[in-house]
Amino acid sequence: MSVEAISWACRQTVGKSSIKFVLIALANYSDAQGYAWPSVAAICDTTEQDRKTVLASLSALCEAGLMIDTGQKKGGTKQVPVYQLQLQNNTKNGTVKAEHNDAAYGAARHYLYRVTNPITGQFYVGVRSCVGDPAVDRYFGSGRWPNACQFKGVSLAKEIIRECETRQKAEHAELELIEEMLHDPLCMNSPKSGTSTVFPAKKTVPKTAGNSTVFPNKQYQKRDTEPSGTVKEPSSIHIQRPPEVDEKIWRDWLLVRKAKRAPLTESAWRLMLAEIQKADWTVPRAIAHCVERNWQGFRAEYVQNQNARSNAPPRPQKFDPVEFVNRGKTNESRDPRIIEAERVA
């Protein structure tokens, strides 16, 4: 706990009590340099706020420049983000005035970045505030698409587009850049309109939510500046149907994959061709077999196991003593009473 950090947090004006409480809670967890890494659950317990409110407050504090996400992860799971409170910023009447032009004083610097998947060419544009040189900032975005790439182990390439004097100018430049890039199918950003408002003015809550902006669609749960709405999935890759495969069989197999939520990508098709070759099957035979078995893919070991079971010797039948005694006899020569007595015995 840092008394200086708590005193600094109490002097800030954020316009909303829930955000102010989260800021004071972070200050309570911070060290002398302003670094704090409490989990969201810990902040919820301290402030008695729900998870959605805490996430919205963390995002708002980062956008306001009161703290920054250092990009580091700590905690037992190494998944808890490390924040740094901007204790060195000058304050006047409780309003933060950051010295944006002097990184030596630890002032926040704002820049536009672009992260690219070198395998697919897909990219994502965002805005970032950091302390120090943006070129050495190890932040690769916290939106859904960058997080999904990092979770899958994809090494994203980061490019600094340009640096802006203030966060507001950086967000305005980001808006223009996203609108310019949206025509590119490889752009993973969603349409974004309007400028960011860190602390919106209070509005009267309507009786029903409807299309009210008071109830945004979970926009503030994201710590990056990713726009609201669903993140666009990679554009569907149309694998050309092999000419030797019947069109109806091919369409039925694609429906099987669609029902299992398994889009046919280039990597999946390449791996399937390798398995077909490994099993020494033809492509039409394998596709038809997948449709018959309701398989989304083909594995050589599947058909090898089936062949092994079909070639296995038949199991010996259970010994029947009555049949053994009456072997070679015709139905007329068999005595039903003797047969029934022998079965009972």
Class in CATH terms, 104-199: alpha beta
Residue 218 has pLDDT above 80, yes or no: no
Query: Would you state the pLDDT for residue 226?
Result: 47
The SS3 call for residue 35 is strand
Q: What is the mean pLDDT of the chain?
A: 76
CB 82 within 8 A of CB 67: no
Picking from 100, 35, 50, 28, the residue whose alpha carbon sits closest to that of residue 220 is: 50
156: left (phi over 0), alpha (psi -120 to 50) or beta: beta
Picking from 258, 200, 189, the residue whose alpha carbon sits closest to that of residue 224 is: 189
- Residue-wise pLDDT for 33-73, tens only, equals 888 989 999 999 999 999 999 998 898 888 888 888 888 88
Domain map (residue ranges) of the chain: 3-96, 104-199, 247-310
CB 66 within 8 A of CB 60: no
- Residue-wise pLDDT for 262-310, tens only, equals 888 888 888 989 998 888 899 999 999 899 989 888 888 878 776 665 5
Q: What phi and psi, each to the nearest 5 degrees, are found at residue 89?
A: -65, 140
Query: Would you state the pLDDT for residue 99?
Result: 38
CB 66 within 8 A of CB 12: yes
Cα separation of 48 and 4, whole Å?
Answer: 24
Q: How confident is the model at residue 103 (pLDDT cuts 50, 70, 90)?
A: very low
In this structure, what token pair is assigned to residue 129?
A: 């505030």
CB 161 within 8 A of CB 112: yes
Q: At the topology level of CATH, where does 3-96 sit?
A: Arc Repressor Mutant, subunit A (1.10.10)
In this structure, what token pair is assigned to residue 108?
A: 């926040």
Average pLDDT over residues 222-231: 48
Picking from 193, 135, 143, the residue whose alpha carbon sits closest to that of residue 162 is: 135
